[in-house]
Amino acid sequence: MKKHPAVFLDRDGTIHEEVGYLSRIDQLKLFPDTAEALRMIREMGRLAVVITNQSGVARGFFEESFLDEVHREIENRLEKEGARIDGFYYCPHHPHSGNPPYRRDCDCRKPKPGLILRAAEEMNIDIGRSYMIGDMIKDIQAGVRAGAPGILVRTGYGGNVVRTDLPLYVAPNLLDAVKWIREQEAT
Ligand SMILES: [Mg+2]
Ligand SMILES: [Zn+2]
């Protein structure tokens, strides 16, 4: 079976505003261009897959069921704008906070590549033709370790990142990042 190219996306600070451990639905504010960026990803024949660290679970700020609620809300809002996300993958762990089973040195917390590798396996994704977009260097590192080059966005915490050697491209926001991917495909 033919494998799909994808765009892996960080969540907080990349598709919606970074509020620091989003723990209430009313804090969820998608960026104005997120739906357009996702429609563009789809038009390119790529899957859009969220890859997100959610250590707020391990830290006791919210439960995993709340993450499901947030992800359903994101899907509902996007659907109204003709956009969608094909998969949500999260790491609820933290190596030092909370209690087991969430307190553990897992292989899925970015910058580790575990979530991307799992998504690729389950969704039949060709990582070598895929990209990872995020607002932190650990997003880029996770992509690179999995085999997908990273694009840094300057939204969220991205404005503070000084290390620009690792990302393949630095974009002001998600839509610009996706347009850049589209340009690469055209050449
Ligand atoms: Mg982020
Ligand atoms: Zn994990």
Q: pLDDT per residue over 103-117, tens digit each? A: 999 999 999 999 999
* Range 52-65 average pLDDT: 97
Q: How far does residue 124's CA lie from ligand 2's centre (Å)?
A: 21
* Range 135-153 average pLDDT: 98
Which ligand sits closest to the CA of 103?
Answer: 2
* Range 54-69 average pLDDT: 97
Architecture of the domain defined by 6-127: 3-Layer(aba) Sandwich (3.40)
Q: Can you read off the two tokens belonging to residue 50?
A: 């969220």
* Range 70-74 average pLDDT: 98
Which residue, 22, 29, 14, 128, is CA-closest to 74?
29
Q: How far does residue 89's CA lie from ligand 2's centre (Å)?
A: 10
Taking the C-alpha atoms of residue 155 and residue 129, their distance in angstroms, rounded to an integer, is 24
- Asked if residues 166 and 141 have their Cβ atoms less than 8 Å apart, the reply is yes
pLDDT one-digit tens code per residue, 3-27? 999 999 999 999 999 999 999 999 9
Residue 186, pLDDT score: 83
Query: Would you place residue 147 in the very low, low, confident or very high pLDDT band (cuts 50, 70, 90)?
Result: very high
